[in-house]
Structure 1
Amino acid sequence: MATRELDDLDRRILYHLQLEARHTSSSDIADALDVSASTIRNRIQRLEADGVVRGYHADVDYETAGYQLFTQIVCTAPIPTRGTLAEAAADVDGVVEVQEVMTGEANVLVRAVGVDGDDLTRIGEELDELGLKVSDEDLIRSTHRSSYSRFGESDET
């Protein structure tokens, strides 16, 4: 994976996008950073094109939406097939997020939404059929996020 060097303005734009991308315009960011809105729009387009910004996602409160069984399933995958298995896990009905972990036995974290206990059992069985060893399941009560603080720092400070 190629890395892209971020300058101070790129990092500060990312900070503002992480705070609230949906309700933040390029003009809002431009005002906060004392640059033109067109500069911000161009930078955001470049960050997207370079794969730094991969998308804008809805933060769904599954409990409020009527799905109280939001769970994290901790799995183990053989290292040589971890990436392939993680991608396949994302295709299981009910799975909403899969994370690959670099070290340890618990190297694939799967977040899934089930309508009932039988649905969660089905998801676990499908993950097992793929070749993932399920070692733990935890119901998620809530998730809290924040912007990466270093993006908000200026090189000038």
Structure 2
Amino acid sequence: MIREIDALDRRILYTLQREARHTSSSDVASALDVSASTVRNRIQRLEADEVIRGYHADVDYEAAGYQLFTLIVCTAPIPEREELAAAAADVAGVVEVQEVMTGEANVLVRAIGVDGDDLSRIGEELDELGLRVTDEDLVRNTHRRPFSGFDDADGSGDGDTGGA
């Protein structure tokens, strides 16, 4: 279901993307000049409509002692892509799977291996599912930022909220 997102929803989403853990409804309400109950109601509706699908910890795997954070690039037959991607998410060590709409490299798997043998096992299990592994790369860092289109009160997409 595609949901209509208004300016207030966009600003709430942007604020939550920036720092959901340390941001209360009152903080968001104060910044957006609305009541805390309005923010709570909007967040509940965004969650119910699955616009907000969850809140996730951003783990530094290397700092946690897992140096083998790997991007495994796979190819799946188009008719089976969604099913294979979902199955790949169940492989032990896999932490994220993305389906890509075009090209040969249409399933991207992020996995944590404790050693080279573990990474080989993950690759073999993906192959057994029917995914063709085309590349494997160790990930050094991931840099994220909130989508700037949500920091846009007027809906123009330019990020200009009219402030000074």
Length-normalised TM-score, structure 1: 0.98
**Residue in structure 2 matched with residue 108 of structure 1 by the alignment:** 107
**Residue in structure 2 matched with residue 62 of structure 1 by the alignment:** 61
- Number of equivalent positions: 156
Q: Output aligned runs, 1:132-151, within 5 Å.
A: 132-151=131-150
Look up the SS of the partner of 2:64 in the other structure.
coil
Unaligned stretches of 5+ in structure 2? 155-160
Cα offset, 1:85, TM superposition: 0.2
Q: Output aligned runs, 1:70-149, within 5 Å.
A: 70-149=69-148
**Residue in structure 1 matched with residue 6 of structure 2 by the alignment:** 7
Q: How far apart in 2 are the matches of 1:148 and 1:24?
A: 17
Look up the SS of the partner of 1:43 in the other structure.
helix
**Residue in structure 1 matched with residue 36 of structure 2 by the alignment:** 37
Cα offset, 1:150, TM superposition: 1.1
CA RMSD of aligned residues (A): 0.7
Cα offset, 1:18, TM superposition: 0.2
Cα offset, 1:19, TM superposition: 0.2
1:34 counterpart letter in structure 2: D
Report runs of 4+ in structure 1 exceeding 6 Å deviation: none
Percent sequence identity is: 79
Length-normalised TM-score, structure 2: 0.94
Cα offset, 1:153, TM superposition: 1.1
Look up the SS of the partner of 2:69 in the other structure.
strand
Q: How far apart in 2 are the matches of 1:102 and 1:4?
A: 22
Q: How far apart in 1 are the matches of 2:145 and 2:25?
A: 20
Q: How far apart in 2 are the matches of 1:25 and 1:133?
A: 44
2:12 counterpart letter in structure 1: I
Q: How far apart in 2 are the matches of 1:141 and 1:23?
A: 26
Cα offset, 1:91, TM superposition: 0.2
**Residue in structure 1 matched with residue 153 of structure 2 by the alignment:** 154
2:69 counterpart letter in structure 1: F
Cα offset, 1:154, TM superposition: 1.2
Report Cα offsets for 1:56-94 as digits up to 9, x if no partner.
001000000000000000000000000000000000000
